[in-house]
Amino acid sequence: MAYAIIRTGGKQYRAEPGKTLRIPSLVGEQGSTVEFNEVLFGSDGKNAKTGVPMVQGAKVTGTIVKHGLGDKIVVFKFKRRKNYARKQGHRQGFTEVRINDITLG
């Protein structure tokens, strides 16, 4: 089973063909293809390639499935005895990408 470890948005993800990843927001329309060139590690099931720090010539391609907002988190700041309390909500944007192909170069 082929898979690769890619880096995008400052985080690392395990990408497998057919798998859907929820990553930080990317620029692009729904249905367009996206290419990840920062491949840290790759395996085709028998052979593994490790990058120093990236695997040369390797890339992972995928299709943007949708854009959206994640679950709401509550940011609450409070200082006792100072009459200070602030409540704020936040929803982080994401992009769902379906992985199509892994090329290890």
Mind listing the pLDDT tens digit for each residue in 59-71?
A: 999 999 999 999 9
* Exposure string over 48-69, b if 16+ CB within 10 A, otherwise e: ebeeeeebeebbbbbbbeeeee
Q: What percent of the chain has pLDDT over 90?
A: 93
Could you report the per-residue pLDDT of 8-20, keeping only the tens digit for each?
A: 999 999 999 999 9
pTM score: 0.86
The full set of domain ranges for the chain reads 3-103
Neighbours of 78 (CB within 10 A): 9
> Cα 52 to the chain's mean position, in Å?
21
